[in-house]
Structure 1
Amino acid sequence: MNFLQTKDAKERLNYLEKIAENFRTRADIHDREGTFPFENMTELKRSGYTALTVPVEYGGKGISLTELLHLQETIAERDGSTALSIGWHMGIVHNLFEKKAWDDSILQWIAREVLNGALINTLATERQTGSPTRGGKPHTTAKRHKNKWIINGRKSFATMSPVLDYMIVTATITETEEVGSFIIPANKEGIIIEETWNSVAMRGTGSHDVIFQEVAIHNDFLVEKMQRGPKQANGWLLHIPACYLGIARAAQSYSIQFAREYTPSSINRPIIELPNVRQKLGEIELEIMKSRYFMYGAAKGWDESEAEARNTMTPILSAVKHEATNSALKIVDLAMRIVGAHSLAQNNPLQRYYRDVRAGLHNPPMDDMTIEQLAAFSIDQKK
C-alpha cells in the first residue's frame, strides 16, 4: 500500500502517522549532529506522499489545502525540520497546478517527475538582497546564449538542497532586466552545494547555499516572468504555520505527560493537579484552539473559493502565519515553565522545540510586513 492507493483523507492520515513515527526517534539525532534526514525523505517518497498534491487528472490525489495542512502538522509533531522541508515541495506542487501559470506541457512533465519521486523547491533568497518578499531584484543572472540560458549566481536558505531534483531559480534576465523563474535540474554541471547551514533552529533542513557557475539550461526552462503589481494570494504558504503549530502541539503533549508523571516529594502528588500548572495547560490549549481554528478556517475558505475570491485573502493568510508562529512561541515557553529546568537538558525535546519555533519568525511573511498589510487593509475597509 502507498498514499496513491488510499481511499480517503482519514486513511491517508492513519497511514502517515505510522510512517512518521520513525521521524520522532531520529529528530534528536539529526538536531544534535546537524545532519539531514535522508531516510525520512526516502520514506516519504517511497510511500507516495510527495505526489499527493499532484491533481487527479495528472495522476496524483489532488488533496485539498485543508488536508495538506493536517498532514503537515502531523509530520511536524514528530520532526519539525522534516515537515518544513517537505512542506515547501508539497506546497509548491499544489500551487503550480492550482494556478497553472506554466505551459501545460511543462506541468505534465513536472507531474510525471513528481510521481516518480522527484523533489522540488524554489531558490529565491540571496544574502545581498535578503528575503524576496521585500522586493529585492535577484543578483543571480540569466543570459541567453543561442537556444540556452546561462545561469550565474548564489542562493541562500536553499531548504532540502541535499535531495532536490529540481530547483526553481529566480534570476534577472540581463537583456531586459526582467525577473524570471527558471526550472533547473539539480544534477546540471556547474551547480555546487556549499554546506553553510549552521543554524541553531531547524538544523535538519539542509538549507545550504547553492552556487550556479555557468549553468546551461534549455531555452524552454524559463517557465515564468514575474509580473509587476500586486502578487496573487498564496494559500499553499499555510504549510508554514501548520509546521510550527505541529511543533507546539508536540510541546503540549510532552508537558502534559511530564505533569502527569512528575511527583516531587514536597507535594506527594503529580504536578498536573496543581492550579498553577493547570492554568498554564489551559493557556496552552487556548492558544492552540485559536490558531488552529483560524488556520483551518482560512484553509476551508480557500478550498471553497474561486480564484477571484482567493486573491482577496492575502491579509487573512498573512495574519494566520503571524498568529500561529507567535502562538507557537508562547506555547513552547509555557510548556517549558511547566517542566522547569528539566526542559533545558540537551536530551529534552522541549529545548529543540523552543529553538525550532523561533525560526517561524523568519519565514515569510515577516511580522512587520503583516502588521503593515493589516493596517492598510483595515484603512481600506473603512473608506
Structure 2
Amino acid sequence: MSVDAFLPDDLLERIRSRAASVDAENRFPDEDLAELRDAGYLALFVPPELGGAGLGLAEVAALQQRLATAAPATALAVNMHLVWTGVASVLAARDDDALRFVHEGAASGEVFAFGISEAGNDLVLFGSDTQAAPQPDGSYAFTGTKIFTSLGPVWTQLGLHGVDATDTADPRIVYAFVPRSDAVVTRDDWDTLGMRGTQSRTTELHGAVAPADRVVRSLPPGPNPDPLVFGIFSVFEVLLAAVYTGIARRALDLAVETAKTRTSKKTGTTYSQDPDIRRRVADMAIAYDALPVQIAQLARDVDGLADHGAMWFPRLSALKHRAVTMAKEVVDEAMLVAGGSSYFTRNELSRLYRDVLAGMFHPSDPESVRSAVANAWLGPVGAQR
C-alpha cells in the first residue's frame, strides 16, 4: 500500500478547505483530527500487530510534508502526537519496550501531547523547572508550567519531564506520562500571529500524577546518550523539518501557479515569461529541492539504526535549522512573485507567511544549532590553546 493511502487527495483537499477558517477563528481543527484518526493517521508508527500502519520515520516524514501543504497548523499539531509514537518506535527498534503503552494507546484512540517546553528553560531536554515528586507507590506528582502544548484542547495523555530533587546530591530528570485530570489546567491563551490551529496552550500542572507504569526514565540532568533522549530529539527534529518543508512546497506551488496566470500590462505576457520572476522561482525551487532528500536520508538513518556517534545531534539540529530557514526564504519569495494580493489575509500565502515564522522558535534555536555544529567540527571552546 502506498503511504499516500493514509492521506488521499480527497481528504487532503477537505483539510485544505478548512484551514483558512481554523486560522481566522483561532480554533482547534477538530474536524481534521477526526478524519485523520479515521484514516489511521494517528497510528502511523504503531506496529501492525497492535492495529497500526507500522511505518518508519522516513515514510511518516513524507506524509507530514504532504499534510503541511494543506494545513500547516494541523500538521504541526499532529506532529506532537507523532513524536511520541515515533519515539516508541525508535525505542522498540533498539529492543526497549518502555513506550509500548504509547503504541497501544494510539491504537485505541489516545492523543499524546508533548510537554517539554518551559518559559526561559533553554536547557530543554537537559533540565526542567517542573517539580517531579516521588510517591510511595512509585508514581510521580508533577507541579509546574509547560508552554507551547500543542493539541491543548484535545490531548488525553501528556508526555513530560520534571526534576526529582529528593536527593540534592543526585537530582534526576524524570520522564513520564500524565492523563488529563483536575490536576491539569489548560489555559485558553493561544492568540498568536500564526500556527493558530495548533492551539498550543499553556499547561499548568498542580500535582498531576503519572502512574508508576507510566514513569519511563530517571536520568541525570544534562546531555545524555540514553535512547529515550535520542528518540525524542531525532523524531522531533525530523518531523519539524518535514512540516516546514511542506510549507515551502506549497508556497512554491502557489508562486508557480500565480506566475502562470498573472499577466503583465507592460508586456502582455504572463509573469512566467519575465526573466526576473523566472530567476526568483528558480532560486526557490533550488532551495526547496535539497530538503526532502536530506529529510528522507536522515530519517532512514534513524530507522536503519545508523551510527553517527557524536554527529547525530549536530546533524539533526542542522536539518531542522536548514528546513525552517529555507521555508521562510521560499515563502518570502513567493509573496513577491504573487504581488500585492498576497498581502491580504484572505490570501493563502498571507497565512503561510505567518505560519512559517513559528519555525524559528522550535528547538533547536539558531544559537544552539551553531554551537552544536561548531563543537562537532572545532571542539568545545577552550579545548585548545
Fold match, TM over 0.5? yes
The equivalences for 1:216-231 within 5 A come to 216-227=209-220, 228-231=222-225
After TM superposition, give the deviation of residue 219 of structure 1 in Å: 3.0
Task: Tell me the equivalent position of 2:179.
Answer: 185
The answer to whether the 8 A contact 1:168-1:183 is kept is yes
Percent sequence identity over matched residues?
24
Query: Quick one: distance in 1 between partners of 2:23 and 2:66?
Result: 19
Task: Tell me the equivalent position of 2:262.
Answer: 262
The answer to whether the 8 A contact 1:302-1:310 is kept is no
Taking a change above 3 Å as real, the CA distance of residues 151 and 376 of structure 1, as seen in their structure-2 partners, is closer
- 1:118-146 CA distance string (max 9 Å, x none): 1112201122435615x4x3222122343
Taking a change above 3 Å as real, the CA distance of residues 190 and 380 of structure 1, as seen in their structure-2 partners, is closer
Task: Tell me the equivalent position of 1:139.
Answer: 129
Task: Tell me the equivalent position of 2:357.
Answer: 358
Taking a change above 3 Å as real, the CA distance of residues 312 and 266 of structure 1, as seen in their structure-2 partners, is closer
SS at match of 2:339: helix
The equivalences for 1:119-134 within 5 A come to 119-130=111-122, 132-133=124-125
Runs of 4+ with >6 A deviation: none
Task: Tell me the equivalent position of 1:4.
Answer: none
Task: Tell me the equivalent position of 1:95.
Answer: 87
What letter corresponds to residue 139 of structure 1 in structure 2?
D
The one of 66, 71, 75 aligned to 1:83: 75
After TM superposition, give the deviation of residue 33 of structure 1 in Å: 1.7
Query: Quick one: distance in 1 between partners of 2:247 and 2:210?
Result: 39
Task: Tell me the equivalent position of 2:248.
Answer: 248
What letter corresponds to residue 181 of structure 1 in structure 2?
Y
Kindly indicate whether residue 47 of structure 2 is the aligned counterpart of residue 55 of structure 1.
Answer: yes
Query: Quick one: distance in 2 between partners of 1:45 and 1:146?
Result: 37
Aligned residues: CA RMSD? 2.3
The answer to whether the 8 A contact 1:48-1:117 is kept is no
Taking a change above 3 Å as real, the CA distance of residues 359 and 89 of structure 1, as seen in their structure-2 partners, is same
Query: Quick one: distance in 2 between partners of 1:268 and 1:316?
Result: 48
Taking a change above 3 Å as real, the CA distance of residues 109 and 300 of structure 1, as seen in their structure-2 partners, is closer
Q: TM-score, normalised by structure 2?
A: 0.89
Task: Tell me the equivalent position of 1:340.
Answer: 339
Q: TM-score, normalised by structure 1?
A: 0.89
Task: Tell me the equivalent position of 2:106.
Answer: 114
- 1:134-174 CA distance string (max 9 Å, x none): x4x32221223432433222111111111111001211224
Task: Tell me the equivalent position of 1:169.
Answer: 160
What letter corresponds to residue 250 of structure 1 in structure 2?
R
What letter corresponds to residue 142 of structure 1 in structure 2?
A
Task: Tell me the equivalent position of 2:288.
Answer: 288
Query: Quick one: distance in 1 between partners of 2:91 and 2:330?
Result: 35
The answer to whether the 8 A contact 2:163-2:172 is kept is yes
